[in-house]
Structure 1
Amino acid sequence: MRAALRRRCWATLPARLRFLRAVTVSLAAALALLLLLAGQATTGTWDAVAHRDAPRTTSAADLNLALNDMDAQAANILLSSGNAGQGRLVTPYEKAVGFYGAARREIGHDLRSLAVAAEGDRADERTVESLTDDFAEYQELLGRALENDGRSGSKAAALADYRTATDLLQGHLLPDARRLVESNDTAFDGQYARARSNLSTQLIAALVLGALLLAVLGVLQWCLARRFHRILNPGVLAATACTLVAVVLGAQMLSASAGHLRVARRDAFDSVVALSRARAIAYDANADESRYLLDPERRDRYARSFLAKSQQLYGIKGATLATYDAGLAATRQAYHTDRDDLRFTGEFRRELDNITFSGERAAAEKTVDAYAVYQRDDRTIRALLAAGKQHEAAEFCMGWEPGTSHAHFGEWMAALDKVTDINRAHFTTSVREGRSAVGTMLPWAGGLLIAAAALTALGLRPRLAEFR
Structure 2
Amino acid sequence: MVTAVALLASTSLLMGRVQQQVRVIGEEAAPQAATAADLYFALSDLDAQVARMLLIRDGGQIDALGTYRERSLQVDADLQRSLTTATGDAERAIVLDLLNQLAVYRQWVWQTLTAQSQGPPQPPGKLPPDALGYYTQATNVLHLELLPTAQRLRDAGEMRLDRAYAGKRSTQVWGVVLTVVLGAGLVVLLLALQVWMARRFRRVLNPALAAATVLTAVLAAAAGLVFVRQAQELGAARDDSLRPYLALSQARALSYDAAADTSRYLISANLPLYRDDFARKSERLVDAVADKQVVDRWLAYERGHEKVVALAGAGRTGAAIDTLTGIRRGDAAFDFSYFDAAVDEIAAGHKRDFDRSLGDTERLLAGWTLIPVLLLGLVILLVPLGVRRRLNEYR
Taking structure 1 as the reference length, the TM-score comes to: 0.80
- The equivalent residue for 1:302 is 274
Q: Could you list the runs of 5+ residues in structure 2 that have no partner in the other structure? A: 122-126
Contact 1:249–1:445, Cα closer than 8 Å, also in 2: no
Contact 1:396–1:405, Cα closer than 8 Å, also in 2: yes
- Which residues of 2 match residues 360-379 of structure 1 at below 5 A? 364-379=291-306
Q: CA offsets, 1:36-64, max 9 Å, x none?
A: 11121111112111111111111111111
Q: Name the CA distance, whole Å, in 1 between partners of 2:354 and 2:92.
A: 28
2:189 maps to which of 196, 207, 216: 216
- The equivalent residue for 1:430 is 357
Q: CA offsets, 1:353-392, max 9 Å, x none?
A: xxxxxxxxxxx33212212212222122122222332212
1:245 maps to which of 205, 215, 218: 218
Q: How many residues align?
A: 389
1:411 maps to which of 338, 347, 351: 338
1:105 maps to which of 73, 93, 106: 73
Q: Name the CA distance, whole Å, in 2 between partners of 1:64 and 1:245.
A: 49
Could you say what secondary structure the match of 2:42 adopts? Answer: helix
Q: In the alignment, residue 302 of structure 1 is paired with which amino acid?
A: Y
2:149 maps to which of 173, 176, 185: 176
Q: Could you list the runs of 5+ residues in structure 1 that have no partner in the other structure? A: 1-24, 82-87, 315-345, 353-363
Quote the offset at 1:95 in angstroms. Answer: 1.7
Quote the offset at 1:229 in angstroms. Answer: 2.3
Could you say what secondary structure the match of 2:118 adopts? Answer: coil
Quote the offset at 1:441 in angstroms. Answer: 4.8
- The equivalent residue for 1:347 is 288
- The equivalent residue for 1:47 is 23
Runs of 4+ more than 6 Å apart: none
Could you say what secondary structure the match of 1:125 adopts? Answer: helix
- The equivalent residue for 2:283 is 311
Q: Name the CA distance, whole Å, in 1 between partners of 2:103 and 2:40.
A: 16
Could you say what secondary structure the match of 1:381 adopts? Answer: helix
Q: Name the CA distance, whole Å, in 2 between partners of 1:33 and 1:253.
A: 16
Q: In the alignment, residue 346 of structure 2 is paired with which amino acid?
A: V
Contact 2:50–2:109, Cα closer than 8 Å, also in 1: yes
* 1:56 matches 2:56: no
- The equivalent residue for 1:289 is 262
1:393 maps to which of 320, 323, 334: 320
Q: Name the CA distance, whole Å, in 2 between partners of 1:242 and 1:41.
A: 23
2:235 maps to which of 254, 262, 266: 262
Contact 1:142–1:161, Cα closer than 8 Å, also in 2: yes
1:77 maps to which of 47, 53, 63: 53
Contact 1:35–1:446, Cα closer than 8 Å, also in 2: no
Q: Name the CA distance, whole Å, in 2 between partners of 1:257 and 1:133.
A: 42
Q: CA offsets, 1:377-408, max 9 Å, x none?
A: 21221222223322121122122333321121
Q: Name the CA distance, whole Å, in 1 between partners of 2:277 and 2:357.
A: 39
Q: CA offsets, 1:219-238, max 9 Å, x none?
A: 01101211222322111111
Contact 1:250–1:442, Cα closer than 8 Å, also in 2: no
Q: CA offsets, 1:96-117, max 9 Å, x none?
A: 1110111111111112221222
Contact 2:16–2:368, Cα closer than 8 Å, also in 1: no
Q: Name the CA distance, whole Å, in 2 between partners of 1:41 and 1:440.
A: 13
Quote the offset at 1:457 in angstroms. Answer: 2.0
Q: CA offsets, 1:274-295, max 9 Å, x none?
A: 1111111111001101111111
Q: Name the CA distance, whole Å, in 2 between partners of 1:271 and 1:393.
A: 35
Contact 1:131–1:176, Cα closer than 8 Å, also in 2: yes
Q: Name the CA distance, whole Å, in 1 between partners of 2:320 and 2:147.
A: 28
Q: How big is the alpha-carbon RMSD for the aligned residues of Structure 1 and Structure 2?
A: 1.6
Taking structure 2 as the reference length, the TM-score comes to: 0.94
Q: Name the CA distance, whole Å, in 2 between partners of 1:442 and 1:97.
A: 53
Could you say what secondary structure the match of 2:203 adopts? Answer: coil
Q: In the alignment, residue 186 of structure 2 is paired with which amino acid?
A: L
Identity of aligned residues (%): 31
Q: CA offsets, 1:194-243, max 9 Å, x none?
A: 21122112211110000100000110110121122232211111111111
Q: In the alignment, residue 23 of structure 2 is paired with which amino acid?
A: D
Q: Name the CA distance, whole Å, in 1 between partners of 2:348 and 2:73.
A: 23
